[in-house]
Amino acid sequence: MLQLQAIRENTAGIVTALKKRNIDAAPLLENIIQLDEKRRALQTKLDNTLAESNKLSKEIGMLFKSGKAQEANALKEQTATLKEDSKQFSEDLTTTAEELQTLLYQIPNVPHDSVPAGSSEEHNEEIFKEGDVPVLSSEALPHWELAKKYDIIDFELGVKIAGAGFPVYKGKGARLQRALIAYFLDKNTEAGYTEIQVPHLVNEASGFGTGQLPDKEGQMYHVGEDDLYLIPTAEVPVTNIFRDVILNESEFPIRYTGYTPCFRREAGSYGAHVRGLNRLHQFDKVEIVRVEHPSKSYEALDGMVEHVKNILRDLKLPYRVLRLCGGDLGFTAALTYDFEVFSTAQDRWLEISSVSNFETYQANRLKLRFKDETGKSQFAHTLNGSSLALPRVLAGILENYQTPEGIMIPEVLRPYTGFDRID
């Protein structure tokens, strides 16, 4: 959430920056400033009324002590009026503050200067590419057919149990899935991230804290009776550890990693491009989350990008890195790099990671602050990245590592799987 002070002091700059997202924010920002002025005026009236009421109460007490009951009773009538006024001011203030908060939630984060303008994924910038695309035989299969051939993932059984988008992993497929999770976690902890296990459901405050609510409410599974949400990513519970927290500057950097299943409704997702593992309602993901000093957050973002690169190098998968344009940038992000693995059998790129810096946007919602050297409190920066999302990584491995003898296992995973081939 953008800070009110920044909106008041740099309205024109924010309007210009949000044009990269193809948004004309001027009318909304104008409404916000007007509501904020109204809120501050109401607060002043309330404060003055309460101060006058307190002053009269003290005078009434002194008059009663002095035996001047008639004068005291006359003043009591004034305090009664002041109490009614203060009650009305308080109610108006609450209503105005809620309206203001609702409008603030509607403004996305301001894109970083390096974010290119653009309206869709077609305008994303490829900034890095690495790895050799394997040459497969003419009989090469997409992963959903390989899964059936080797009986390692059963999509039809998942439909029977839950519905489309809930696959069942079997035998070596389940073992490979578990191996990837363990390998990702080990790589992350070796890089200095502390492993953490978190709840798979969160309350509404957590959803608002990281920005999934109200922006992505329709994409989240909601447990109505308990008013809880199934997590779309571990970012939500992990980052909310720091909701309403004041850190010391010496605590930076804070680095966490965690594995969770993730749940996304993915409403409106149909067609061949979402077949098999390409898009699921339930999938496994290992996440990395960082809380950083504002002066270090972009250095940290670069480090996260290099870390994900190293994992993909170890897996020997061809990949590329994209800098997302304004129109494809997530609502809460200031800058995002997407990683895509090339699926040789499908002849297309598959997104397998997003690494983002949210600057103070989430921290403002979370009320996540730190005290600097002078003792002054300011907002921290939050970052997160997939390290990695499993379905499309698994799809890439199955398709790119297929041979006439079976699906070879990347060498780095063999100590985790206990086998070197699926046949």
Q: How far apart are CA 126 and CA 121, in angstroms?
A: 11
Q: Quick one: which of 390, 406, 387, 402 has its CA closest to 344?
A: 402
Tell me: do 186 and 241 sit in the same domain.
yes
pLDDT band of 267, cuts 50, 70, 90? low
Does 126 map to a domain? yes
Tell me: do 98 and 60 sit in the same domain.
yes
Domain C-terminal end among 43, 73, 104: 104
Tell me: do 91 and 128 sit in the same domain.
no
Is pLDDT of 422 > 60? yes
Domain C-terminal end among 104, 136, 155: 104
Which helix (H) or strand (E) element contains residue 350? strand 348-359
pLDDT band of 198, cuts 50, 70, 90? very high
Tell me: do 14 and 148 sit in the same domain.
no
Q: pLDDT by residue (tens digit) across 373-408?
A: 888 999 999 999 999 999 999 999 999 999 999 999
Tell me: do 378 and 239 sit in the same domain.
yes
Report which DSSP code applies to 260: E
Tell me: do 181 and 295 sit in the same domain.
yes
- As a whole number, the mean pLDDT across the chain is 95
State the residue range of the domain holding 322: 121-422
pLDDT band of 191, cuts 50, 70, 90? very high
Average pLDDT over residues 223-236: 96
Tell me: do 62 and 133 sit in the same domain.
no
pTM flag (> 0.85): yes
Tell me: do 299 and 374 sit in the same domain.
yes
Tell me: do 233 and 265 sit in the same domain.
yes
Q: How many domains does the chain have?
A: 2
Tell me: do 74 and 134 sit in the same domain.
no
Does 116 map to a domain? no
Domain C-terminal end among 45, 70, 104: 104
Is pLDDT of 71 > 90? no
What is the CATH classification number for the domain harbouring 334?
3.30.930.10
Does 109 map to a domain? no
Q: How far apart are CA 67 and CA 63, in angstroms?
A: 6
**244: left (phi > 0), else alpha (psi -120 to 50), else beta?**
left
Is pLDDT of 271 > 80? no
Does 258 map to a domain? yes
* pLDDT at position 273: 64
Residues 6+ positions from 284 with CB-CB distance below 8 Å = 177, 181, 259, 260, 261, 262, 389, 390, 391
Please state, for a pLDDT cut of 90, what percent of the chain lies above it.
87
Does 226 map to a domain? yes
Does 114 map to a domain? no
Does 180 map to a domain? yes
Tell me: do 233 and 340 sit in the same domain.
yes
Tell me: do 145 and 273 sit in the same domain.
yes
Q: How far apart are CA 234 and CA 200, in angstroms?
A: 8
Amino acid code (one letter) for 83 = K
Does 206 map to a domain? yes
